[in-house]
Amino acid sequence: MVSAEAVKKLREKTGAPMMDCKAALQETDGDFDKAIDFLRKKGIADASKKAGRIASEGLVHSYIHGEGRIGVLVEVNCETDFVAKNEEFKTFVKDIAMHVAASNPLYVAENDVPENVLAKEREIYKHQAAETKKPPQVIDKIVEGKIQKYYEETCLLKQPFIKDQTKKIEGLLKELIAKLGENCTIRRFVRFQVGEGLEKKNQDFAAEVAKQIKS
């Protein structure tokens, strides 16, 4: 018999729905740690299904770095205000803001890259590949490989996490969905840097920001 107190405790720990918490405890004979693992595994399996659910709650977080030299605003959404108050969710939002400050992505996801920008990149890569004198099918593969690299450099979800290069942001997001049992999305961000767009050297400062955040 699973107690209501145990179900409540598991929900507070994981943010998962009450019925899922009850089912997890029943499945694991009331073992709290095993129930958490059960929910995480179930969440990973169901993450793609959750992606279609509306996420209209969440947080907007600001991050300032380098004595006001770089500023970031990021919005991350979830399904309920309960999860929005969850410490793991808050930590994730803060980490995303710091990552944006350090890695300076241009878009959230691949689908956000404008068609005209993508077409221009393809044209450049195709011209570069053509100079290798390789067969057309090989050139096409080279171009697609460079496009994927472009996504990794400019799209937030495709970038390696600044604190752990073995993980990508999209992987961290899936882990969060698994832990919390709700659809979560990084909706948008904006990054400001003092002097950006003006004729001054900001590259060294941006590199220093990335170095400090990694450490």
Residue 188 burial (C-beta neighbours within 10 Å; 0-12, 13-18, 19+) = middle
Report which secondary-structure segment, H or E, holds 155: none
CATH fold group of domain 114-152:
GTP Cyclohydrolase I; Chain A, domain 1 (1.10.286)
Indicate the CATH number of 1-50 among 1.10.8.10, 3.40.630.30, 3.40.50.150, 2.40.50.140: 1.10.8.10
- pLDDT tens, per residue, the chain with 215 residues: 788 888 888 877 766 667 778 888 898 888 888 888 887 776 644 555 555 566 779 999 999 988 889 999 999 999 988 999 999 999 999 999 999 999 999 999 999 999 999 999 999 998 888 888 888 888 889 999 999 999 999 999 999 999 999 999 998 998 898 888 888 999 999 999 988 776 555 555 556 666 666 66
At residue 44, the pLDDT reads 47
Structure tokens at 77: 């959404």
Q: Which residues contact 175 (CB under 8 A, 6 or more apart)?
A: 44
Please report, for the chain, the start and end positions of each structural domain, with discontinuous segments joined by +.
1-50, 55-113+155-215, 114-152
Structure tokens at 91: 């930590």
At residue 16, the pLDDT reads 65
Domain spanning 55-113+155-215, CATH architecture = 2-Layer Sandwich (3.30)
| Predicted structure pTM score | 0.68
The number of C-alpha atoms within 13 Å of 73 and in the hemisphere containing its C-beta is 3
